[in-house]
Amino acid sequence: MTKKRGLGRGLSALLEDPGTDITSPAASGDVSPSRTAGSVAAIPIAHIEPNPFQPRTTFSKEALVELAQSIRELGVIQPVTVRKLGYDRYQLISGERRFRASQIAGLVEIPAFIRIANDEAMLEMALVENIQREDLDAIEVAISFKRLLDEVNLTQELLSEKVGKDRTTVTNYLRLLKLPPEIQIGIRNKQIGMGHARALISISDPDRQLELYQKIVESQLSVRAVEDLARHSTTGGRIPTGSALSAAPFKQFSKDLGQHFGTRVVVKGNASGKGRIEITFKNEEELERIKALLAR
């Protein structure tokens, strides 16, 4: 059964209640009475403050320019979400890419959902909304998880429910933050993937983590090769280099296949994980036996 994603009953109720406006239009003299909590309205961009809780720290300039061009042609399809601070003043909760691209496009107003949220609820909403995006890198996700635990005081179990991910996945992301800064930067720059990072986490010595990280980048190692090398490192051996690096992950494969086929098997490959398998047979009868095993 797929786990239902949600913001939690307390936060959801707070954000969906149109009666939670911080001030009535009549009392404040608001010239735009339609801009109350729970409504959708066109709000002057100049009246919106950036989100101080924004989890994302990097935005692609090229992607923002492309989005700005789309906004010029089609407008803002999905409204941003803001919270009302007072008389005609708002603060962005989510939708910062759309907000920045609209500024680049020269828009004066932007469609927005108007909500009321205290600082903790706003942080929670901003973090959860960003985690659901597919373009976040693994470190940004991990930092968002950590902030939800530390600043919103969520447990890992409640966090996993709110973001729609199982607890093991949440734990794996949080463990990335224990890696050396150089490796975290490599993850953010997409030099290594999440699979590589999980293998590196299994190594307790930071120096060996960095040593293997450099090998991954230099030799473009596959995740499977890194897992094998990480296991080799945790048993006390040094990380192989050069030709030994290429051969290390394949020795066990050769042994396992040799036992399966009852003959000598050699698995050859390079550091990227590509290679070939050589199965030795003595006569036609043994070849037929191996073919039968392969056909199973």
Supply the pTM of this predicted model.
Answer: 0.50
Q: Is 96 a catalytic residue?
A: yes
Instruction: Report residue 204 as tokens.
Output: 């307790």
- Pairwise CA distance, residues 186 & 93, whole Å: 29
Which has more pLDDT, 83 or 249?
83
- Pairwise CA distance, residues 47 & 53, whole Å: 18
Which pLDDT value is given to residue 25? 41
Among 97, 186, 88, 176, which Cα is nearest to 133's?
97
Task: Please give the share of the chain, as a percent, with pLDDT higher than 90.
Answer: 14
Which pLDDT value is given to residue 43? 92
* pLDDT tens-digit map of 112-138: 988 776 767 777 777 777 777 666 788
The class of domain 9-24+36-123 in CATH terms is: alpha beta
Among 201, 205, 255, 203, which Cα is nearest to 232's?
203
Helix (H) / strand (E) element for 216: namely: helix 206-219
* pLDDT tens-digit map of 78-111: 888 888 887 788 988 878 889 999 999 999 999 9
| Residue 153, C-beta contacts closer than 8 angstroms, at least 6 positions apart | none
Catalytic choice (16, 66, 73, 96): 96
